[in-house]
Structure 1
Amino acid sequence: MKKALKIIGKFFLGLLIIILVFLLIMFVYHRIMLNKEKKYLEPLGQMVEVDGHNMSIYTEGEGEHTIVIMAGAGMVSPILDYSPLYRRLSDTYKIAVIEKFGYGFSDVVDGDRDFDTLLRQDREALKKAGIEAPYVLCPHSMSGIEAILWAQKYPDEVEAIVGLDMSTPKAYTEENLNDDDKGMELFYKFLRESGVGRLILTDNNVSQSFSDREKDIYKALAFRKFANKDVADEGDHLADAIDEINSADKPDIPTLLFLSDGKETSGKLWIDAMNDYSDGLTDSRVIQLDCGHNVAENEPEKIEEEMRKFIAELDS
């Protein structure tokens, strides 16, 4: 029995040593690659100063209507992530892509990440970049909450909302809002800091709509910033933002909501919440798509077609 236990002990000790050596090799390799990948970090857009830090704003195209792309939580590179959609629209409209702090080429910062702060910073960044209101806000996922706040607080700045499977106030249960997911945050930090994430994020699971250089840029950003503290901290303020929205009237502005199949969100709860939000608005419609949550990549042709119709109606 003792001999068997000794053999088992040696096995696990050997396995532990192998794992530690592997992690050390990955860590050193990761640091070497981070240095080599600096050549991919030249900003694709304009950098403006907000609260003493650099925020990235990308613009493309010209037109009478300005579409502001607002990224969903944790998107690595909004400029690239939403390009399959906005490149189809920039021949007619002015496109502005906001990269909040912690996203894309913007700095990772210390400070509040509550939704009032996010909104103030986004508005200031657009102003400093010379992008004037009114805007057609185009939020994806959790930025839908910020877009609704924007329309409530500054109605003169918001011409319409086009939701890309955007969050709505009833899309979250009390359990969701109070879920303290520190374990996942630590896991993502481990993947990012150790370099193990490089084994997961390869060319095969980066959007195939990107060019080879865009894939390299995307990965260089992901290996540095994925699920950083700015991104993680936003979710901690979601409940307060929803309470603020519910304390005021729903912004009754033209609204077009693209809805995913719900399989990558909260299913029926997500779908019912979006339909509920649309109900009661004077000019609102929901378009059901047969695809996952990242609708801008999954169904850009359909969204482009419907957005063009919708924006044309704003002028009529």
Structure 2
Amino acid sequence: MRKFLRITLIVAAGFVALVVATLATTSIVNVVAGNSEAEKIEPYGRLVPVDGKNMNVVVKGDGPETVVLLPGFGTAAPALDFKPLVAELLPRYKVVVVEPFGYGLSDQTDKPRTTDNITSEVHEALAGLNIDRYVLMGHSIAGIYALDYANKYRAEVQAFVGIDSSVPNQPGMDDKLPIGAMKAAKALGLTRVLVSMAGDPYDGLPYDEATKEQIRMLSLKNTSTATYSNEMENFERNFTAGKSQSFPHDLPVLEFVQAANHDVEGWIPLHQQQVASVDHGEMVTLDATHYLHHTKSREIVENLNRFMVGVKK
């Protein structure tokens, strides 16, 4: 029995030592790789002063109407991720992609990621570029921020267009998330390991290899930062605040919605309720993933053009 216990302890100690050595290796590799990648990330867009920091904004085209694009949560490089949609919007529209703090090439911030702070910062960036009349188009969680934004700055917003956008009453947004574990996984280099094992999430999509590599590096850089994590920590608060808001009744609202969302109960009815709450609202279902703009950008822009013509009548 003593011999068995001694062997068990030796095996356990060896296993612990192996785990510690592995984590030490992945941590060191992660730091070295991160420093190397930081030198390879290529600048794009322009840095706009906002609240004492710099927010990255990409402006393309000179069309008579302007579309402002806001990303969904965790989209590491919004201006690059939106490339197929930007290409379809040009040249009819002037396109502005805002990368909020913690996204893309924008600075990090220690200011709480509340809806009020996020919308005020986005507006300050647009004001700094003298952009004061536009269609606000947002993906995923941007739908929550857009409710606040449209009420604050109604005189500037011509319409809201949702790309499978979040709605305040969707279930599950009060679930507790493993934020601490995610931070630890990044610090230990495990996030990098998982990303390498997961394969290319943009495989088969209209992105060139150089763009995909930039997105990969920015994803590793921006995931689970303090800014990223704080936005997650504010999910419940921001969704709860959204329940007391609705779009102004005279704001045209067009929402593109994933036709078969099996993760969120009542996804389509929730959006039907939202578009029914305004005088000029419409919902279009698309057979695609949550990132509708990856594969359905042409359909999105065709329907946007038609919708805006109807709004002007």
Q: TM-score, structure 2 length as denominator?
A: 0.90
Give deviations 1:208-264, integer Å, cap 9, x for gaps.
332222122112212221032222322444455455555455312111111114536
Instruction: Note if 1:194 corresponds to 2:188.
Output: yes
Aligned to 1:179: 175
Alignment of 1:157 onto 2:156: yes
CA distance in 2, matches of 1:43, 1:311: 33
Residue correspondences, number: 309
2:284 match: secondary structure: strand
In structure 2, distance between residues paired with 1:280 and 1:127: 29
Q: Determine if contact 1:80/1:218 at 8 Å carries over to the other structure.
A: yes
Counterpart position of 2:106:
106
Question: 1:13: which partner in 2?
Answer: 13
Q: Does structure 2 conserve the Cα–Cα contact (< 8 Å) formed by 1:115 and 1:238? A: no
- Aligned-partner Cα distance in 1 for 2:200–2:15: 30
Secondary structure at 2:158 match in 1: strand
Specify the SS of the correspondent of 1:201: helix
Q: Distance in 2 between matches of 1:237 and 1:190?
A: 19
User: Is residue 286 of structure 1 aligned with residue 283 of structure 2?
Assistant: yes
Q: For residue 171 of structure 1, report the CA deviation from its aligned partner.
A: 1.6
Give, as a single letter, the amino acid of the residue that structure 2 aligns with 1:189: K
SS in 1 for 2:195: coil
Q: One-letter code of the match for 2:57?
A: I
> Amino acid of the residue matched to residue 128 of structure 2?
K
- Letter of the 1:119 counterpart: T
Matched residues in 2 for 1:109 and 1:248: separation?
26
Q: Measure how far apart 1:42 and its partner are.
A: 3.5
Is structure 2 residue 222 aligned with structure 1 residue 225?
Answer: yes
SS state at 2:104 partner: coil
Counterpart secondary structure, 1:170: coil
Q: Is the 8 A contact 1:192 1:224 kept in 2?
A: no
Alpha-carbon contact 2:102-2:222 (below 8 Å) kept:
yes
- CA drift of 1:160 comes to 0.5
Residues 271-301 of structure 1 show CA distances to partners (whole Å, capped at 9, x for unaligned) of: 2211111123221111112222111113223
User: Residues of 2 paired with 1:17 and 1:200: CA distance?
Assistant: 22
SS at match of 1:205: coil
Matches of residues 63-142 of structure 1 in structure 2 within 5 Å?
A: 63-130=63-130, 132-142=131-141
Find the aligned partners of 1:98 and 1:85 in 2 and give their Cα distance. 14
Change in 2 beyond 3 A, CA 1:218/1:33: same
In 2, Cα distance between the equivalents of 1:276 and 1:49? 38
Q: Secondary structure at the match of 1:171?
A: coil
SS in 1 for 2:300: helix
**Following TM superposition, by how much is the alpha carbon of 1:80 offset from its aligned partner in structure 2, in angstroms?**
1.3
C-alpha separation between the residues in 1 aligned to 2:303 and 2:156?
22
Tell whether the 8 Å contact from 1:66 to 1:93 is kept in structure 2 after alignment: yes
2:167 equivalent in structure 1: 168
Q: Which residue of 2 aligns with 1:143?
A: 142
Residue 272 (structure 2) aligned to one of 264, 271, 275 = 275
Question: Corresponding residue for 2:296?
Answer: 299
Change in 2 beyond 3 A, CA 1:204/1:242: closer
Q: Which residue in the other structure is 1:59 paired with?
A: 59
TM-score by length of 1: 0.90
Q: CA-to-partner distance for each residue in 1:70-108, whole Å, 9 max, x for gaps?
A: 111111111112212122112211111111111111111
**In percent, how many aligned pairs have the same letter?**
27
